[in-house]
Structure 1
């Protein structure tokens, strides 16, 4: 190798080292810099209370400063701005109040997004991955499921409430049996705003906003943990029970769970995956008192009707009277509506299931 080439190589190596040092320094600066979240001052709602909470749960914003302001200078100084500014770019500005904004979560949804929906749309997968410790590569399917499900079952209602979307098409024709407005999270948050007769200051609103964000966040994290740590892992138990169904009864219409888990939605999905929709009539599992239960499978998740109710002659009976009528020892009860029953042993509920088919 010639001398000029050697000098050039040394120069290239020096430049490369300098660039690497600059990149490391830049990364360190980004890591240590306190990022700033901005939302509007004054009265607050459920959507930005939740949006700010979700951002703070991300490692990127875990040490962030919150500024509540309607001042454009504060928006520009901030790293992310939610529910104010009249801008949405999916990077820094996340407002939905501008006339031309019509964004939804995706093509499957019609509800216009609020600041909560916007933040979840852009940061939801990161939030799920970090809070549930799910690697994005190895758990992409689970993250995608939770991403859609959490929006549908939690965030969309926040979006609809903030954008004035009625739950029912013909709202005026529905006559409620009771009032639940103040039982809703959105109303709880709204009622946290300082009372007008106290002449509240910006600092009063700011302090109350923190409580609102805490309440919305508690409900959100509780649901996220349920879906990620309870609901999703339960599917494996239902899958095993479904695979072993012919060991319980030759009809294949009864499954026994190793332990109680949320089973209804998983069962419908597993039946569909196996081209066996509607095949399972009864699900058996141990209850919290170490007795056993027999549940008639509902026709749908929200239905009170069953694919096949427990025999009418048993309904409403208990203990010895039920054991005598059914011919099964150790019975505990059969509900008067015929959708659930119990016995003291696994063998007892298996016998009840076989007699009910």
Structure 2
């Protein structure tokens, strides 16, 4: 039969259909549906919200309902007994439908959104970053996994997380709950969750990830021009460096040796001065690998310059984790002298 002779029913079957449950919705399937619509196959898919198995069986992909997880059948539910799937790569939180869809389709979503080639190694970096910073919490909340496994009582309640905001879009107990109203609210929820995901992805792709590239280049340049031991890293511009440094130090394929960097020097964001900062002992630590000399701590301006013998000093923090100088050369001298003391 030619395309001109195709019936409306046959043409309609060519459109992919996503299935999920009706009634009260949650953040995980709202996001899962949005993510699927960022893939090539399901970009223009229709949506069926139902718990009727016969209708779900007509769908091309089903998420968060149906009691089946089988990639080959495009079924992605997590409620069934015995389901223990996790994301892997060091993550052990049980997946929700958001995590399942992201695990199987996330790299394609990232590639389509960033326009990076599918085989670009940055895709893998962003895929893992977005799971850690965005998806895992949705998985945990939907599966009832406490953020405080030792059951410490929080000092306050927060209902501003994405899962709570999506949940609040459900009709209240005394509002209309007809299917059309709930489906309309689900569309808002899917858009809310998806827009937040895309916003986070754009930040990590366009701001967070470029900082990693600059750090790698700066480490190499600093070893060549500033300090061959790698203990001092010079940045010619301010950038978020701590997380990247520790992740790259832990990566066996990286050329950055664990524990090697002691001080970083970079321009102050606002004053036109320069900063020298001690690298912390770990990514979450307030302790430094080697704090700036104690005899400098808490001193400022001329007194600090006199005690240190370095012109142009501005301050050294009382804890010795950071200091300032009016020039790049002065900040580098603070770092070099501190290494010797």
TM-score range, shorter chain: 0.7 to 0.9
Residue matched to 1:153:
133
* Equivalent position to 1:64, from 32, 36, 45: 45
**Matched position secondary structure for 1:225:** helix
Measure the CA separation in 2 of the matches of 1:136 and 1:240: 24
Give how far 1:229 is off: 2.7
Structure 1 pair 236/107, CA: closer, same or farther in 2 (3 Å)?
closer
Within the alignment, does 1:103 sit opposite 2:80 as a pair? no
1:327 and 1:43 mapped to 2: Cα distance?
68
Say which one has the larger Rg: 1
Matched with 1:163 is 143
Q: Write the distance in 2 (CA, Å) between the matches of 1:143 and 1:169.
A: 32
Q: For the structure 1 residues 333 and 63, does the alpha-carbon distance in structure 2 shift closer, same or farther, using more than 3 Å as the test? A: farther
TM-score, length basis structure 2: 0.84
What is the rounded CA distance, in whole Å, between the counterparts of 1:105 and 1:212 in structure 2? 24
Please show how residues 80-229 of structure 1 align to structure 2 within 5 Å: 80-90=61-71, 91-106=73-88, 108-137=90-119, 139=120, 141-171=121-151, 174-176=152-154, 178-229=155-206
Maintained 8 Å contact 1:34/1:64: yes
Structural RMSD (CA): 2.9
Q: Which residue number corresponds to residue 233 of structure 1?
A: 210
Match for residue 348 of structure 1 among 314, 330, 341: 330
The TM-score, its normalising length taken from structure 1, stands at: 0.81
Q: How far off its partner does 1:282 sit?
A: 0.7
Name 1:17's counterpart in structure 2.
none
Q: Which residue of structure 2 lines up, in the alignment, with residue 257 of structure 1?
A: 235
- Determine helix, strand or coil for the equivalent of 1:170: coil
CA 1:37–1:318 in structure 2 vs 1: closer, same or farther (change >3 Å)? farther
In structure 2, how many angstroms separate the alpha carbons of the residues matched to 1:45 and 1:186? 7
Three-state SS of the structure 1 residue aligned to 2:87 is coil
Q: Aligned partners of 1:215 and 1:269: how far apart in 2?
A: 31
Contact 1:258–1:285 (CA under 8 A) maintained in structure 2: yes
Aligned 8 A contact 1:96 1:113 in 2: yes
Q: 1:58 to 1:326 in 2, by over 3 A?
A: same
Structure 1 217/329 Cα, relative in aligned 2: closer, same or farther at 3 Å?
A: farther
TM-superposed deviation, 1:108: 4.2
CA contact under 8 A between 1:284 and 1:294: conserved in structure 2?
Answer: yes
Deviation at residue 291 of structure 1 after TM alignment: 2.7
Could you tell me which runs of 5 or more consecutive residues in structure 2 were left unpaired when the two chains were aligned.
Answer: none
Query: Unpaired runs of 5+ in structure 1?
Result: 1-20
> 1:191 & 1:131 partners in 2: Cα distance?
28
Give the superposition deviation at 1:182: 1.0
Deviation of the 1:244 alpha carbon: 3.0
Q: CA deviation at 1:307?
A: 0.6
Residue-by-residue CA offset, 1:114-139 (whole Å, 9 max, x unaligned):
100110111112112211212123x1
Question: Where do residues 319-334 of structure 1 align in structure 2 (5 Å cutoff)?
Answer: 319-334=301-316
Are the counterparts in 2 of residues 35 and 61 from structure 1 also a CA contact under 8 Å? yes
CA positional deviation for 1:321: 4.6
1:200: how far off?
3.0
Partner SS for 1:182? coil
Which residue matches 1:283?
Answer: 264
